[in-house]
Amino acid sequence: MGTGPTRSLPAVSLHVPRYENHIRSRADCGERFCRYRLTHTAMRAVRFHEYGGTDVLRVDDIERPTPGPEEVLLEVEAAAVNPVDTYFRTGDYEPGELPWIPGSDCAGTVAATGERVASVTEGDRAFATGLGNWLQGTCAEYVTVPESHLARLPDGVSAEAGAAVALVGVTAWQTLVDACSLEPAERALIHGGSGGVGHVAVQLAAANGARVTTTASPAYHNQLADLGADDVFDYSRDDLADAVVDAGAPDVVLDHRLDDYLAFDAEVAAQGARIAAIGNTDLAATFENVPRCRAKALSVHHVSMFNTPEFGAVLSRLATLMADDELTPVVARRYDLAEVPAAHDDVRNDSFLGKLVVTP
């Protein structure tokens, strides 16, 4: 896998100008600044130093980051692997300055907090997302997270579940609840119900009181029914459109491959339906029958999880659903840091229901 050699780094004294006044005034301010970690120590992190295939990923020993005033240092107990992580690795999406740590979501224990952080304190359990783009990612032993990007993880909910649900849960919430305003007793069509977003969206729609139709390979039909789907269809069947309409024309459609399914969505959708687009393979996606779309008063909403205004607020709602057993993310496979290259390959090429999780 080409992880390269690792080495241990000695602890060194932290000398950061923005903390100097805090340190000098500590005698006057009591223990207010004890929340800072004032020394750097080494940690292991998966990084890529150039764009490319999975062979560019390697485990490095690097300095543990220090949280800024509005940041939290999380000791990572679990991180999830998502398709978007591979797009940053290949350079299709450009992250921050290389070398870069991949990973968009995680869960763990608060190791330290910045001076203006109020929602969590050292020792709390939390989960986070919205990372790995212009903020360093989560496939590491520690990660700094803006306070706005995390929420407390409820007692009884594992770190693996928190990591597995974070990115896909926010995506599902932004599509079904925020963009499309799914209401109780409406019908939702979830394409790709076995996927990371799909299997959480099925549960979220069901918890919202909607009737749920989803598509998946036959191997996953029973499990999706157990997760709350009312009707599950093989996406490859020739009469899929008829089957979907017979189950109930959808008021809301969650589409993960808009270039393949946009015309299908328009055909099966109910009057006034809302379509949420979260992915595509080709750059172009077009309606085959524009007058029909106009007659149905269809609307299409393009949703990116990274545009979420308040990550923490959505994560808090997801935390409540998990605590109430209304939402249970499925962990399909587990990997350690050295196996992240394999996880990147699997998330793009293998079939499974649920999420892939890394445990540092």
* C-alpha span between 115 and 145 (Å, rounded): 14
Same domain flag for 172 and 63? no
pLDDT tens track for 335-352: 999 999 999 999 999 999
Range of the domain at 249: 166-306
312, part of any domain: no
Same domain flag for 300 and 198? yes
3-state helix, strand, coil in the chain (%, to 5): 35, 25, 40
pLDDT tens track for 26-60: 333 334 333 444 455 899 999 999 999 999 999 99
Find the CATH number of the domain harbouring 178.
3.40.50.720
Same domain flag for 336 and 302? no
Same domain flag for 190 and 276? yes
Q: Which amino acid is at 146?
A: P
pLDDT tens track for 56-73: 999 999 999 999 999 999
Q: Own/partner pairs for 302-308, CB < 8 Å, 24+ apart? A: 302/277, 303/171, 303/174, 303/175, 303/179, 303/276, 303/277, 303/278, 304/278, 305/129, 305/130, 305/167, 305/170, 305/171, 305/174, 305/278, 306/130, 306/133, 308/130, 308/170, 308/174
Can you list the alpha helix ranges (DSSP code H) found in 128-275? 159-173, 196-207, 221-227, 240-247, 258-268
pLDDT tens track for 124-182: 999 999 999 999 999 999 999 999 999 999 999 999 999 999 999 999 999 999 999 99
314, part of any domain: no
Dig out the tokens for 293 from the structure: 């779309």
Same domain flag for 147 and 221? no
* 3-state DSSP assignment of residue 315: helix
Find the CATH number of the domain harbouring 21.
3.90.180.10
pLDDT at position 357 is 98
* 3-state DSSP assignment of residue 56: helix
Same domain flag for 339 and 302? no
122, part of any domain: yes
pLDDT at position 82 is 97
Same domain flag for 197 and 65? no
Q: What is the DSSP string of 285-297?
A: ---S-HHHHHHHT
Given a cut of 70, whether residue 1 has pLDDT beyond it is no
pLDDT-based confidence at residue 260 (cuts at 50, 70, 90): confident
Given a cut of 60, whether residue 118 has pLDDT beyond it is yes
255, part of any domain: yes
User: Beta-carbon neighbour count of residue 358 at 10 Å?
Assistant: 26
pLDDT at position 40 is 59
pLDDT at position 35 is 41
pLDDT tens track for 275-332: 999 977 777 777 777 787 788 999 999 999 998 989 999 999 999 999 999 999 999 9
Same domain flag for 258 and 131? no
In degrees rounded to 5, what are phi and psi of residue 199? -70, -25
pLDDT tens track for 196-211: 999 999 999 999 999 9
Given a cut of 60, whether residue 9 has pLDDT beyond it is no
Same domain flag for 17 and 53? yes
Same domain flag for 185 and 255? yes
pLDDT at position 208 is 97
Same domain flag for 232 and 286? yes
pLDDT at position 19 is 32
Dig out the tokens for 308 from the structure: 């979420």
On average, the pLDDT of the chain sits at 89
322, part of any domain: no
48, part of any domain: yes
324, part of any domain: no
User: Which of 265, 290, 306 lies at the terminal end of a domain, its last residue?
Assistant: 306
pLDDT tens track for 197-254: 999 999 999 999 999 999 999 999 999 999 999 999 999 999 999 999 999 999 999 9
The alpha carbon torsion through 107, 111, 116, 117 (nearest 10 deg) reads 30
* C-alpha span between 47 and 101 (Å, rounded): 4
How many structural domains are present in the chain? 2
316, part of any domain: no
Same domain flag for 118 and 173? no
pTM: 0.86
Tell me the mean pLDDT in the region 84-101.
96
